[in-house]
Amino acid sequence: MLDYKKFKIKINALTPIHIGNGDVYSQLDYVFDKTNKKVFVIDFNRIIANSSPSAINDLTSEIKKNFGNNRWRGDVAEFFRRYKLDWEDFVIKEIPCENVGNNEIHQFVNSTGRCYIPGSSIKGAIRTALIYNLLSKESISKNIQEIIHDDRIKAKYASDSFSKEVFGNNPYYDVLRTLIFSDSSFGNIDDILVKETVLLNLSKTKQKRFIPLFLEIIKSNICYEQTLKLDSQLYKIPILKFNKEISKIDNIIGYSNNFSRSLINKESEEIKSYEILHKSYTKLLNNLRNLNENECIIRIGKGGGFFSKTFSSLLEADKLLKIRKRFNIFSEIICNKHNSKIMRNHYCPDCRRKLKNNKDNDEYHYEYDEVFFPRTRLVTFDNGKPSEPLGWVKLTFEENA
């Protein structure tokens, strides 16, 4: 007999969310209407299918001519007009957008054009929160020793040993199998915006230029629904680590809020000099304080960066630094002669050559910024200013009768 506890989960976007599907709209996949502030996504393949062979030839050579550095030079709408192609007949959807320049747009995960929040996104966030709460100090130290001293461990897998400590080696006996999240309901077409985001650099040297990244996002204050089934048979299996802890939804809620509180506090401190962005964090902290018993806040999708995707936030600064040094991650490479930052491939523009990597290396060294790590944060950008972090959602659990 199946024995499930079922919950309805309301997902409320507290800040804009982006969960990418890995695809982009290239500059030829849309026309931006500046006056009406809209992006019209067009079906370029259908345009091609409706053109004569000679027109396609001209078209492809002109496309080649217009692309430089993976960027389209010129006006796409004008280009279609010149070829008497009525792009308006090939519009798939229109998305509100303040500004997109001439940039690629990263797509939100969707099924035949309708956006949704994958269950795996929610589960992944909860998984990280569980590790943050359940991993003991002793096992953290033990794991760090192993990672630092075992040359065979690759950076990509470094965090695996932490998760194995909580969830075990055997996926069959992974306690997370007891949590079954559905994908969310489909959103409405007008939940989505094309939004400018920037990678904020928090290192000590002042940022000269913000590099924009354009994303399809779900606006804040939009609500989605999904279901969670807790498999109450499975979590009775004693071999599952932490089965008792995870069998209670109250614990999952508590663990999630613990983890989010530490993240939000930490990030809020780091971005203090950006006034508007800092206000969004203050709002998030207020949200955390005013939650009901059946509510938690987590972060999903793009924008969380290293700290919420892995769980290095549970490491003390000195231990984290050891791990960074072990893998040379998030470091700067400095030319010894010029004391200047050089490229990842060890090319020094001042020496005009690649610096040598020999045993007793005296040509370059690594430096680790210890104040803000990692140094970059992806945030939305409004009126020339960083304004909101991405991905924070409130989950409300309602037990079904």
Nearest in space to 253 (alpha carbons), one of 179, 174, 173, 161: 179
Binding window for Zn ion (CB under 5 A); candidates: 2-10, 164-172, 186-194, 351-359? 351-359
Nearest in space to 15 (alpha carbons), one of 296, 367, 277: 277
Nearer to Zn ion, 248 or 338 (CB): 338
What strand order describes the sheet that includes 20-25? Answer: 20-25, 105-108, 212-218, 192-201, 376-382, 385-389
Under 8 Å CB-to-CB from 109, ≥6 apart: which residues?
A: 19, 20, 21, 115, 116, 118
Is residue 292 within 8 A of residue 302, CB to CB? The reply is: no
> In whole angstroms, how close is the CB of 348 to Zn ion at the nearest point?
3
> In whole angstroms, how close is the CB of 290 to Zn ion at the nearest point?
54
> In whole angstroms, how close is the CB of 345 to Zn ion at the nearest point?
14
356 binds Zn ion (CB under 5 A): no
Binding residues for Zn ion, total number by CB under 5 A: 6
Polymer length of the chain: 401
Chain position carrying tokens 């976007």: 13
Selected from 37, 65, 338, 356, the binder of Zn ion by CB under 5 A is 338
> In whole angstroms, how close is the CB of 362 to Zn ion at the nearest point?
12
Nearer to Zn ion, 73 or 338 (CB): 338
Nearer to Zn ion, 327 or 347 (CB): 347
> In whole angstroms, how close is the CB of 334 to Zn ion at the nearest point?
9
Binding window for Zn ion (CB under 5 A); candidates: 214-222, 230-238, 249-257, 338-346? 338-346
List the x/- string, 279-318, binding to Zn ion by CB under 5 A.
----------------------------------------
Nearest in space to 11 (alpha carbons), one of 147, 133, 187, 175: 187
Nearest in space to 385 (alpha carbons), one of 269, 252, 234, 279: 279
335 binds Zn ion (CB under 5 A): yes
337 binds Zn ion (CB under 5 A): yes
Q: Which long-range contacts (CB under 8 A, 24 or more apart) does 45-52 make?
A: 46/90, 47/80, 47/85, 47/87, 47/90, 50/85, 50/90, 51/83, 51/85
Token pair listed for 118: 């994958």
Selected from 250, 350, 367, 370, the binder of Zn ion by CB under 5 A is 350
Q: Given the rule CB under 5 A, which residues bind Zn ion? A: 335, 337-338, 348, 350-351
